[in-house]
Amino acid sequence: MDALANILETRLFINGEYVDSMSNQRLSCYNAIDHSLVTNDVHAATKEDVDIAVAVARAAFTGWSSTLPQTRAKILNKFADLLEEHSEQLSLLEHVCSGQPMLAMKSVFIPAAATRIRYSAGWSDKLSGQSFPAENGFLKFVHREPLGVCAAITAFNAPLMFMAAKVGPCLAVGNVIILKPSEKTPLSTLYLGRLANEAGFPPGVFNIIGGAGATGAFLAEHMEIDRISFTGSLATGKKVAQAASKSNLKRVGLELGGKSPSIIFADADLDNAVHWCTRGIVTASGQMCNASSRVYVHEDIKEEFIQRMKSAFEGIDISQTQAPVIDRIQLARVERYIDQGTKESSLLTGGIRMENSSWIRPTIFVDPSPDATIYKEEIFGPVVVISGFTDEQTVVEKANDSKYGLHSAVFTQDINRAMRLSSKVSSGTVCINCTIMVDVGLPFGGCRQSGWGREGGKIGMEEWTEPKTVFVKTLPLVY
């Protein structure tokens, strides 16, 4: 494909230049739709490459952290503009890897990434500190400083969105960064080096490296990296945290998995609930950390809701609007869960691949046992389990019965009940009469094993800074 060949970049971007990896190791990237080879020349960063990237980033930190905040904002805003100007190229690079529809890239993902960058740019000169009344001859105040050299590892399902959520705040407050995309969808991120140069980032401020798990480990365990932010699976997130603690105790941000519950009360608007619960699990073929994968329905409306949900699932051709399951490994994983589910629960619809494709038909299981695998574990596919309930306290206990705590939803027309459950349900985000909502100005993250820290909003900006307390001994006035 000539259009792809003209924009394809597979090398490392370090110190403002595209360079070869220090080794001959190359990774292959496959198309998620038909598993055809896109390229077998993605350079994998070695430990030596990571050391070089860290060294140039450290050298660039002094200048970038002392750059006027308004100048940092101007460069970030230019970068956001370039994301939109290169929408066609970025969409193609993402489409050939993940199978994400070009229309979705152009209308949703790239505009959202640009918005996140601009939002962060706006905070460049607005992260204020605190001052306290003078006491016993001392002035006291707190201000925030950048951490230094940071690393970020993004997941395969929305690489540009995750890039913006990490790179934007990191650079806006004066840090420098080394970014590693998932080896499954690296191409759109690797392309960003040319945009970084055009935007005006000084060499060493914004570095991008390819690689698989070993490269991520080099970042997590590096003694000269001050913070690492990771989006991905729970298992890998634990490895990142362990490596960070065993090395230099670097700061860690983790955005991990979920098994998000939706609670449908008898007074809910059923059309609305079905719409959102369907959207919450079929979007991206269920490959979202906040996917609405558990649904609890009041027994009074359970059968009607299930039949409406079944009709909605069977009326969707997700191959026309959603990315497929990312690769053969994940397809096999989802199919193993479905096979296990047929032994633990009642399969209502779906459960098979669409003919000759990498899409799995949206799948509903009904009334799984409380210890069923499909009820407990994150599947990361278009698979939902539906259970009934009769009273509020019991359903809250069921909703909170998970090692995850990322996202939840409550459907009711009783505002008192809605507000009551927004406090009782244990998750980082609670949606009322909707699901999977995210806003750049609000913190996103979870409790328990869904991760550490938050992305988005002022809180997300502060994650990339260190508070410093200052005491000033004042001299008494002499008249």
Active-site positions read 255
| The two three-digit tokens of residue 230, written as one number | 């990771």
User: Three-state SS for 35?
Assistant: coil
Q: H-helix or E-strand containing 57?
A: helix 47-65
| Number of other CB atoms surrounding residue 23 within 10 Å | 13
Say how far apart CA 157 and CA 94 lie, in whole Å: 10
Beta strands 451-452 and 251-255: pairing type?
antiparallel
Nearest-CA neighbor of 192 among 159, 228, 227? 159
End-to-end CA distance of the chain: 82
The span from the CA of 78 to the CA of 442, in Å, is 23
**Paired tokens of 73:** 């904002």
Gyration radius (Cα) of the chain, Å: 24
Burial (CB < 10 A; 0-12, 13-18, 19+), residue 7, is: middle
Distance (Å, rounded) from C-alpha 264 to C-alpha 283?
20
Tokens 């359970």: give the residue. 302
DSSP state of 137: T
Matching residue, tokens 């951490």 = 147
Burial degree of 478 (CB within 10 A; 0-12, 13-18, 19+):
exposed
3-state secondary structure of 171: helix
Give residues with Cβ within 8 angstroms of 84, minimum separation 6. 110, 111, 114
Joined tokens for residue 137: 């001859």
Q: How many Cα atoms sit within 13 Å of 190 on the Cβ side?
A: 27
Question: What is the distance between the alpha carbons of residues 459 and 447, in angstroms, rounded to a whole number?
Answer: 15
DSSP for 74-130, please give it.
Answer: HHHHHHHHHHHHTHHHHHHHHHHHH---HHHIIIIIHHHHHHHHHHHHHTTTT---E
Angle of the 159-172 helix axis to the 110-122 helix axis, nearest 10: 10
Torsion angle in degrees (nearest 10) through CA of 149, 205, 61, 151:
0
